[in-house]
Structure 1
Amino acid sequence: MLPTDHPTAWAHPPTRRAWRKHILLHLIALVGWIALWFALLAVLVVFLSPGYAIIFVPFLLYSFYRAFLQLFATPIALRTRRVLREYPWRLFSDPPNGLGDRTDVVGQQCGWFEFPNPARPEEQLPMVFPSHWAVGWWHRRMAPRTKAVIKAQIRVVWLAGDPRFIGVIAAPTSNGTAPRRFRFLTQQMEKTEEYQSVTDWGATAEDIERGRRAGVNSGRS
């Protein structure tokens, strides 16, 4: 069965396997950076004189920083699973995207994709990466000067979610049967005279409730 044939992305077995691998790698990285910090500290304290501190301090700070960042990866992975459990996959060919900031989006942004409004398919809505953490793989393929063979890896983008609220994107594996590189996206359009709430985008009470089950903040509605 195609990934789009399942009622939710989570019902697609390769998606569940990919997500488990996704969170496992985050946990391994967290343990690894913590272990490296303690190992460096032990080497400095036990085996070296204080004069070597100036060499080790940058490595200690960097490993602490990376471990600190990894602490945020698990909550995001759990939010990702929540979205996958609520929405089915939809596949989009060459969705508009970019790295520059958009004036119609508020808050932090570090890259965006546009997807059609489910209620009005002719209307494109931007969704942004809410943080810079761990989006380098996507950024390299979204950059204007990236080679075509590299850009081709995101020519087809999988989306689970509703562009009016929240979503998770993934790139397909080489055989196109499983997702990889999960990334969390949010809707952060600035309110205008035409847009005051998601109901102006055709969202129904059922759509709003589904979004809340997927983890959307009630302020988005």
Structure 2
Amino acid sequence: MAMNVLGLIGWIVGWWALLYVLIVFLSPGFTFLFVLPLGYCAYRFVAQLGYFFPAIRMRRILRTYPWRIVEQVPHGLTEHPDVPGKKNGWFEFANPARSEQRIPLVFPTHFRTEWWHRRMAPRAGARLKQEIETVWFAGDPRLVGLIAAPARSGSGPRRLHVLEQWMPAGNGRILTDWGVTPDDIERGRRVGVSPAPAP
């Protein structure tokens, strides 16, 4: 979150600094040289604003669910039979209530998933695939999750990304089949997920 704030401040300061140099030190003939840098600073400012909602959501997930390290998590970029619609990649995690049952979570958008996609691709080399053999996970796969790759030093998570539950919940019956309790639903609501209650 701090890096997002610093990035936002940096692009604002950069835009004003360029404008100051243009107005104070240069003649109007140099304006065309500053159009692209000023436009790029404005674009990056708007893009940086887009990072805040996911960062806030990640903090909410981490305040509600602890990190755990999971190995050999099934994943893919292809269609998953249990998840309708277009997906941007999926991971399957064990159901906390029924460990033999696996539940897929998907990347909700294509935004900032390139690093993950290169390692999840069927043609990825062994070295790339090895980087996601072990992942950090916080969340409940029946509702929402936060995935991260281990740092090279192994000391902590990096490349954090929110995963969402896209399986059709219908009238809440699937939640009952998954063993979701009222406490689980309440924890989900704390991170912004409002599943349909069971009938």
Q: TM-score range by the shorter chain?
A: 0.7 to 0.9
Tell me what 2:192 maps to: 215
Q: Does 1:86 align with 2:69?
A: no
Is the alpha carbon distance of 1:31 and 1:171 closer, same or farther for their aligned partners in structure 2, counting shifts above 3 Å?
same
Tell me what 1:122 maps to: 100
Q: 1:133-212 alignment to 2 at 5 Å?
A: 133-191=111-169, 196-212=173-189
SS in 2 for 1:154: coil
Conserved? CA contact 1:110–1:132, under 8 Å:
yes
TM-superposition CA deviations, 1:104-158 (whole Å, max 9, x none): 4356642221111222222221111222333332223223333322322211011
Amino acid at match of 1:134: R
Q: Does 1:131 align with 2:81?
A: no
Could you tell me which runs of 5 or more consecutive residues in structure 1 were left unpaired when the two chains were aligned.
1-22
Amino acid at match of 1:66: R
Conserved? CA contact 1:197–1:220, under 8 Å:
no
Could you tell me which runs of 5 or more consecutive residues in structure 2 were left unpaired when the two chains were aligned.
none
Q: How many residues align?
A: 197
In the superposition, the TM-score normalised over structure 1's length comes to: 0.73
Is the alpha carbon distance of 1:60 and 1:203 closer, same or farther for their aligned partners in structure 2, counting shifts above 3 Å?
same
Q: Counterparts of 2:181 and 2:173 in 1: how far apart (Å)?
A: 15
Q: Does 1:74 align with 2:52?
A: yes
Tell me what 1:18 maps to: none
Deviation of residue 175 (structure 1)? 3.8
TM-superposition CA deviations, 1:28-71 (whole Å, max 9, x none): 22222333334444556663646863x65454444323321221
Bigger radius of gyration, 1 or 2? 2
* Two-structure CA RMSD over aligned residues (Å): 3.0
Conserved? CA contact 1:95–1:114, under 8 Å:
yes
Amino acid at match of 2:53: P
SS in 2 for 1:145: coil
Q: Counterparts of 1:220 and 1:130 in 2: how far apart (Å)?
A: 22
TM-superposition CA deviations, 1:72-91 (whole Å, max 9, x none): 32232222122112222222
Conserved? CA contact 2:87–2:106, under 8 Å:
yes
Q: Percent identity, please.
A: 48
Higher relative contact order, structure no. (Cα contacts within 8 Å, ≥ 6 residues apart): 1
Higher helix share: 1
Conserved? CA contact 2:83–2:168, under 8 Å:
yes
Conserved? CA contact 2:143–2:195, under 8 Å:
no
Structure 1, 91-100 or 32-41: larger mean CA deviation: 32-41
Q: Counterparts of 2:196 and 2:15 in 1: how far apart (Å)?
A: 40
Q: Counterparts of 1:145 and 1:219 in 2: how far apart (Å)?
A: 38
